[in-house]
Amino acid sequence: MNTDSDTIAAIATAGSEGCISIVRLSGPDALNITEKISRSAKKPTGATPNTVLYAHIVGSDGKDIDEVLLLILRAPKSYTCEEMVEIQGHGGRISAARIMRRCLDAGARPAEPGEFTKRAFLNGRLDLLQAEAVQDLVKAQSEAAANMALEQLEGGLSTAFNEIYDALIHLLADLEATLDFSEEQLLLPVYDEIKTLNILIMNKIERLLKTWPQGHILREGASIAIIGRPNVGKSTLLNRLLDKERAIVSPIPGTTRDTIEESILLHGIPLRLTDTAGMRTTECHVEREGIERTRKTIQQADLILHVLDASQPLDDEMQAFWRKIQQNKLLYVVNKTDIKKYNHSENLPKNRTYEGSLLNNEDVIRLKNCIYETITSEFNLPDQPHAVISERHRDLLQLAQRSLKQADQLMKEQIEEKTIFISTHVRDAIEQIGKITGRVYYEELLDQLFAGFCIGK
Ligand SMILES: Nc1nc2c(ncn2[C@@H]2O[C@H](COP(=O)(O)OP(=O)(O)OP(=O)(O)O)[C@@H](O)[C@H]2O)c(=O)[nH]1
Ligand SMILES: [Mg+2]
């Protein structure tokens, strides 16, 4: 356990009006500090673990600041595995700030973002995957994302990574054992086993990598670009999906000049919608800048809703543009069927085309379902999502995968002379997987990871 750490304090509740506010303390002096700044019938330092004491926090002038409950958690059975106190005061920014100030006066240090969870990791209560899940749970925008984070917090993902890590250690031990054999003693079946084990590990890594798109959509939200020629109904589409008049809609082509971003939950899936400037050749500098932004939005989108006007003919330029975009990223929205003159659907892929009028409520419901189904099938989103990897895990897994592929390549060649090089690749893979679970870590990695956490978490 990390016993020589100092005592940290932070306001753990949101900095706004609320029914209660919590100031958290963790470290060897947590109980002493609480005792110095409070008065209660029973002393915090003498309290039994997991008890709640009724108390008052006292200011430096001896006057009461707040009436509180002290939750006493003794090491090692606390979130951080250290001595901890949670001071629950009456909600409100001022009260919480005054209690916090008293904690600092009495010797605590302000906690860094995520420092409580970092201590929980350093003290062995959580691995890095579980620590990351804590923040995912805080940030979850949908029930699916929260369930996924909870499963990861409970070790759902750790088991899979630990299995890979242990298998790699096994592989390395087998490889290094062969170094003791002379060439004549070397038994080919041993190498066959090593090769097979390496392939098994690579398959496991591949399976985990395939879960990334699900995690990406449920954590960050699917990014949806609404594009098309001017006046086809893009802003109308944004407003209908949001159920509010967010963007200006008008019959004048070129109404939307800049990109407009909004978020919604569609049947539990977070979507980040971007309405864009209509694409056309123009001399107007402002409009050209808007169209440039449209191009960037298209590049970053997970799904592109390409709106078409059924009262206007298709043009060659647009059709040429589609061919440059991955077809699985496109969903054609043929709009204005109430004043339809052309049958665009004939020229479009059936399973990728929706037709209707955005002025008709039933058509909008149909469109919402169509977007939902396209995303769930494209990103393989199950009804009950399990813990899946994040971008950090994906990047490290890809490095591990590369190392193991190099090892595999060497195994196919004259293996006797190559064992040391193969071992080096396996060691690299072990390091990458270790960085995911936290078996391998360094200060910089932790600083980077916890910097994105809330203060007090
Ligand atoms: N008849 C009919 N008109 C529609 C429909 N959907 C949108 N409109 C009208 O089409 C016009 C243009 O709609 P917008 O949503 O502003 O079009 P836009 O694609 O955002 O246009 P720009 O911002 O100029 O690129 C408005 O007058 C809308 O009311 C529809 O289904 N049927
Ligand atoms: Mg518009």
Q: Tell me, what's the pLDDT at 127? A: 95
User: Do the domain assignments include residue 451?
Assistant: no
Is the beta carbon of 336 within 6 A of some atom in ligand 1? yes
> Over the stretch 331-348, which tens digit does the pLDDT of each residue have?
999 999 999 999 988 888
- The reply to whether 141 and 290 lie within a common domain is no
Q: What is the pLDDT of residue 311?
A: 95
The two structure tokens encoding residue 288: 């050209």
Centre of ligand 2 from the C-alpha of residue 244, in Å: 14
Give me ligand 2 centre to Cα 252, in Å.
9
Tokens at 182, concatenated: 């002379």
First to last CA, the chain: 19
Determine whether the shortest distance from the Cβ of 152 to ligand 1 is under 6 A: no
Is 214 close to ligand 1, i.e. is its CB under 6 Å away? no
Check residue 1 and give its pLDDT. Answer: 45
Whether residues 68 and 187 fall in one domain: no
pLDDT value at 438 more than 90: yes
- Percent pLDDT > 70 in the chain is 95
pLDDT in tens, 351-387: 899 999 999 999 999 999 999 999 998 887 776 667 7
Question: In this structure, how many other beta carbons lie within 10 angstroms of the beta carbon of residue 329?
Answer: 16
**In this structure, are 325 and 256 located in the same domain?**
yes
Which tens digit of pLDDT belongs to each residue from 228-269?
Answer: 999 999 999 999 999 999 999 999 988 888 889 999 999 888
240 found inside a domain: yes
Q: For 176-198, how does the pLDDT look when each residue is reduced to its tens digit (9 = 90+)?
A: 887 766 555 555 667 788 889 99
| Same-domain check for residues 431 and 306 | no
Which of 236, 273, 306 most suits a substitution to test ligand 1, by most atoms within 8 Å of the C-beta?
236
Looking at ligand 1, which atom is closest to the CA of residue 307? 19
Q: Please, what's the b/e burial string for 386-404 (b: 16 or more CB within 10 A of its CB; e: otherwise)?
A: ebbbbebbbebbebbbebb
Q: Ligand 1: does its nearest atom lie under 6 Å from the Cβ of 253? A: yes
CATH number for the domain that contains residue 38: 3.30.1360.120
Q: Is the pLDDT of residue 390 over 50?
A: yes
Least confident of 327-331, 332-336, 417-421: 417-421
- Is the domain of 95 the same as that of 136? no
Strands (E) across 234-360 are located at 260-266, 269-275, 303-309, 330-335, 353-355
Pairing between strand 38-40 and 20-26? unpaired
The ligand that comes nearest to the alpha carbon of residue 232 is 1
Residue at 248 is within a domain? yes
Instruction: Please identify, among 378, 406, 429, the residue that sits at the C-terminal boundary of a domain.
Output: 378
Statement to judge: residues 194 and 225 lie in one domain: no
Residue 62: inside a domain:
yes
Could you tell me if the CB of 215 is within 6 A of ligand 1? no
* Omega of the bond leading into 76 within 30 degrees of 0 (cis): yes
Question: Tokens at residue 42, please?
Answer: 């029973």
Residue ending a domain, choose from 112, 145, 161: 112
Residues 283 and 307 placed together within one structural domain of the fold: yes
Tokens of residue 345, six digits? 């659907």
Quote the pLDDT of residue 187. 55
Helix (H, G, I), strand (E, B) or coil at 64: strand
- Tally the domains of the chain: 3
Q: Whole-prediction pTM value?
A: 0.78
Does the residue 179 lie in any domain? Answer: yes
- Distance between Cα 249 and ligand 1 center (Å): 6
Average pLDDT, the chain: 89
Give pLDDT tens digits for 18-56: 889 999 999 999 999 999 999 999 999 999 889 999 999
Instruction: pLDDT band for 3, please (50, 70, 90 cuts).
Output: very low
C-beta 294 within 6 A of ligand 1? no
Between the ranges 154-168, 375-389, 415-429, where is the mean pLDDT highest?
A: 154-168
- Do 83 and 170 share a structural domain? no
CATH of residue 262's domain is: 3.40.50.300
Tens digits of residue pLDDT in 75-102:
999 999 999 999 999 988 889 999 999 9
- Tell me if 450 is assigned to some domain: no
What is the Cα–Cα distance from 323 to 429, expressed in whole angstroms? 39
**Which has the closest alpha carbon to 8: 83, 111, 130, 136?**
111
Give yes or no for a contact between 115 and 24, defined as CB atoms under 8 angstroms apart. no
What distance in angstroms lies between residue 354's CA and the mean position of ligand 1's atoms? 17
Same domain, 280 and 356: yes
Most confident of 12-21, 71-80, 289-298: 71-80
DSSP output for 336-366: -GGG--S-GGGGS-GGGEEE--TTSHHHHHH
Judge whether 412 lies within some domain.
yes
Residue 37: the pLDDT is 97
Residue of 47, 54, 49, 159 whose CA lies nearest to 387: 159
Ligand 1 pocket, residue 236 CB under 6 Å: yes
166 plus 235 within the same structural domain:
no
Residue 191, token pair as written in the block: 């190498």
Q: Is the CB of 330 under 6 A from ligand 1?
A: no
State which residues form the domain around 171. 131-211+389-438
Measured in angstroms, how far is the CA atom of residue 303 from the centroid of ligand 2? 18
Ligand 1 mutation pick, 234, 249, 257, 337, max ligand atoms within 8 A of CB: 249
Q: Is the CB of 357 under 6 A from ligand 1?
A: yes
Query: How confident is the model over 203-210, as a mean pLDDT?
Result: 94
- Answer whether 403 contacts ligand 1 (Cβ < 6 A): no
- Closest ligand (CA of 338): 1
> Are residues 250 and 177 both part of a single domain?
no
Are 202 and 227 members of one domain?
Answer: no
Strand order in the sheet with 109-110: 38-40, 51-58, 64-73, 84-90, 20-26, 8-11, 109-110
Q: How far is CA 136 from CA 34, 264, 318, 387, 432, in A?
A: 31, 18, 40, 11, 22
**Domain harbouring 168, CATH code:** 1.20.120.430
Domain-embedded: residue 407: yes
